[in-house]
Copies of this chain bind each other. A is one copy, B any other.
Amino acid sequence: MEKTIASITKPKDEELKERLSAAREKLATLQIKVKEAKLPVLVLFEGFGAAGKGSVLSKIIKNMDPRFFHVETMDQPEPTELRKPFLYRYFKRIPENGQFTFMDGGWMEEIVRDRVHEQLDEEAFGKKICSIKRFERTLSDNGCTILKFFFYIDENEQKKRMEELLADENTAWRVSEEDLWQNKKHKKCSEVYQTYMEQTNQSYAPWYAIDAKSKKWAELQILERINQNIETALANSGRAVPILPNLFPLSPIPKLADVDLNKELTEEEYQEKLEKLQKRLSELHNVLYREKIPVIIAYEGWDAAGKGGNIKRIAAALDARGYEVHPIASPEPHEKNRHFLWRFWTRLPKSGHIAIFDRTWYGRVMVERLEGFCSENDWQRAYNEINEFEKELDDWGAVIVKFWVQIDKDTQLERFTLRQNTPEKRWKITDEDWRNRGKWDLYEDAVNEMLQKTNTTYAPWHILESNDKKYARIKALEIVIQAMEEQIKKKKNS
């Protein structure tokens, strides 16, 4: 790294001053174009302790309108954050369209720290880098401009700066134990930083090593890079993005038309099994809690297929303090203005808890596809993005169960009519339900494609034959229980 930095030549003072003033002015203009083009911009400030990230950042934002940016200072994770997938706290903070997010210390800091302290071995480190690359790529594919700055200062400069900070009681708190340790292991840290940067240097999320010895010079390097990248992004805005081929292991799954919907249970079979299974699920909930295993149960299916009643039979066995049902409606403005998975990332449960989604992220490849709420390129890309998302959940150790609740068209009509004619149920049926019914065949094609492209071995789909709701409920309980038992066994053996 030292050599990379040495090759950057600081301009003369006068030139620096001139370029700085031009770059500041340019950013002030570009921020408005960013707003207008609804471009999200994510800028990462990483690097050595005491390298001046904070003070340079303070200068950068002076050229900007507070309506257009957020600063996120990444302290140590909160206890709740530690009980989520490691990308959670970063995904949560991605910028809204038209806004900048400046992140002071991001995912690089976290995983390099864990690596140098040997809390991550070579393999785990490689896996995290893989996750990070996917994360950065999916943001970029969805229109986000990403810039990553690495603030470099050498060992002596770092030492000198920390001594200055420590000398004043009002600034001493800025120097952490970690900073002091880092200074002692400057060479080792440099090496790990360098490895990390080499592995995550992508055209959609480039690394810029910054000579941070002079603050003005650091500011200029950053401003010019930001301006340049924004101009490129503006010129490219609205471009289609290559669709990545799927690399995850898929299992075969039948087409909806081939599903046998004649399965049913008698009332006695149902009651008997229901009681037994709910009792078992209730016991497992305690074990999951103790073992801190997170559970994600995702429901998709036709309107009036019986999702609600099915969820109720699962929920009835659970302790209210350990699960949440998330009914997913159309996104609010602040949700629509971010990556489509944002509102699901932010609803993930804590480890040991259960989240049940009544409709899910698969809306992207069903309703959003069919109603034109996103471009074709967007939903085509989404299959892989979803598989990657679920891969993160799997790596985190989650039980993932995805249900498609299936009925035939006649059964839907019967249930719609019943709802319409029953006063207490009338709120459940809307004009939109009837409109969607009109598009049954289009939906069926979309669902078949979705099932085939996202039926990964680590997050499989299960079709619930729900012409007989009782049959579907028992089957759901059995699948959930089995998936939990397997994960508990796996965790105990690991």
* Residue among A60, A104, A312 with the highest chain B CB neighbour number at 10 A: A312
A424: interface (CB < 8 Å): yes
How many chain A residues touch B (Cβ–Cβ < 8 Å)? 51
Inter-chain contact B287/A170, CB cutoff 8 Å? yes
Q: How many copies does the complex hold?
A: 2
Interface segment, one of A67-75, A140-148, A443-451, A474-482: A67-75
Given that A61-B320, A66-B358, A312-B62 are contacting pairs, would A173 and B290 also be in contact in the complex, using a CB cutoff of 8 Å?
yes
Given that A32-B424, A67-B327, A78-B80 are contacting pairs, would A58 and B104 also be in contact in the complex, using a CB cutoff of 8 Å?
no
- With a cutoff of 8 Å between Cβ atoms, the chain B residues found around residue A424 in the complex are 29, 32
A79: interface (CB < 8 Å): yes
- With a cutoff of 8 Å between Cβ atoms, the chain B residues found around residue A80 in the complex are 78
Q: Contact check: which of B32, B78, B104, B290 meets A427 at CB < 8 Å?
A: B32
A318: interface (CB < 8 Å): yes
A239: interface (CB < 8 Å): no
- Bitwise, A132-176 to B at CB < 8 A (1) or not (0) is 000000000000000000000000000000000000011101000
Inter-chain contact B308/A65, CB cutoff 8 Å? yes
Inter-chain contact A104/B286, CB cutoff 8 Å? no
Inter-chain contact A286/B320, CB cutoff 8 Å? no
- With a cutoff of 8 Å between Cβ atoms, the chain B residues found around residue A319 in the complex are 54-55, 58
A109: interface (CB < 8 Å): no
- With a cutoff of 8 Å between Cβ atoms, the chain B residues found around residue A12 in the complex are none
A20: interface (CB < 8 Å): no
Inter-chain contact B334/A57, CB cutoff 8 Å? no
A321: interface (CB < 8 Å): yes
Contacts of A282-308 to chain B: CB distance below 8 A: 283, 286-287, 289-290, 308
Inter-chain contact A315/B66, CB cutoff 8 Å? yes
Inter-chain contact B333/A104, CB cutoff 8 Å? no
Given that A70-B324, A289-B173, A320-B102 are contacting pairs, would A315 and B62 also be in contact in the complex, using a CB cutoff of 8 Å?
yes
- With a cutoff of 8 Å between Cβ atoms, the chain B residues found around residue A241 in the complex are none
Inter-chain contact B321/A170, CB cutoff 8 Å? no
Inter-chain contact A66/B321, CB cutoff 8 Å? no
Chain A's interface: helix, strand, loop or mixed, by majority? helix
Inter-chain contact A316/B70, CB cutoff 8 Å? no
Given that A66-B358, A327-B66, A424-B32 are contacting pairs, would A320 and B58 also be in contact in the complex, using a CB cutoff of 8 Å?
yes
Cα distance, A65 to B307, chains bound together (Å): 12
Q: Contact check: which of B32, B54, B62, B325 meets A321 at CB < 8 Å?
A: B54
Minimum CB–CB distance from A280 to chain B (whole Å) comes to 13
- With a cutoff of 8 Å between Cβ atoms, the chain B residues found around residue A356 in the complex are 66
Cα distance, A322 to B58, chains bound together (Å): 10
- With a cutoff of 8 Å between Cβ atoms, the chain B residues found around residue A320 in the complex are 54, 57-58, 60-61, 71, 73, 102, 104
- With a cutoff of 8 Å between Cβ atoms, the chain B residues found around residue A35 in the complex are 427
Nearest B residue to A102 via CB reads B320
Contacts of A317-351 to chain B: CB distance below 8 A: 318-322, 324-325, 327, 332-334
A311: interface (CB < 8 Å): yes
Inter-chain contact B57/A321, CB cutoff 8 Å? yes
- With a cutoff of 8 Å between Cβ atoms, the chain B residues found around residue A289 in the complex are 173
Inter-chain contact A104/B332, CB cutoff 8 Å? no
Inter-chain contact A58/B170, CB cutoff 8 Å? no
Nearest B residue to A352 via CB reads B173
Nearest B residue to A313 via CB reads B62
Q: Contact check: which of B65, B79, B311 meets A78 at CB < 8 Å?
A: B79
Contacts of A367-391 to chain B: CB distance below 8 A: none
Q: Contact check: which of B79, B170, B308, B325 meets A283 at CB < 8 Å?
A: B170
- With a cutoff of 8 Å between Cβ atoms, the chain B residues found around residue A325 in the complex are 66
Minimum CB–CB distance from A74 to chain B (whole Å) comes to 10
Q: Give me 18 A-to-B residue pairs in the complex whose CB atoms sit less than 8 angstroms apart, sorted by A's number.
A: A32-B424, A55-B319, A57-B321, A58-B318, A62-B315, A65-B308, A66-B312, A66-B315, A66-B327, A67-B358, A71-B324, A73-B322, A78-B79, A78-B80, A79-B79, A170-B286, A173-B289, A333-B333
Give 15 new A-B contacts, CB below 8 A, not counting A66-B308, A332-B333: A29-B424, A32-B427, A36-B427, A54-B320, A57-B321, A58-B319, A62-B315, A66-B312, A66-B327, A66-B356, A66-B358, A71-B321, A102-B320, A104-B321, A171-B286
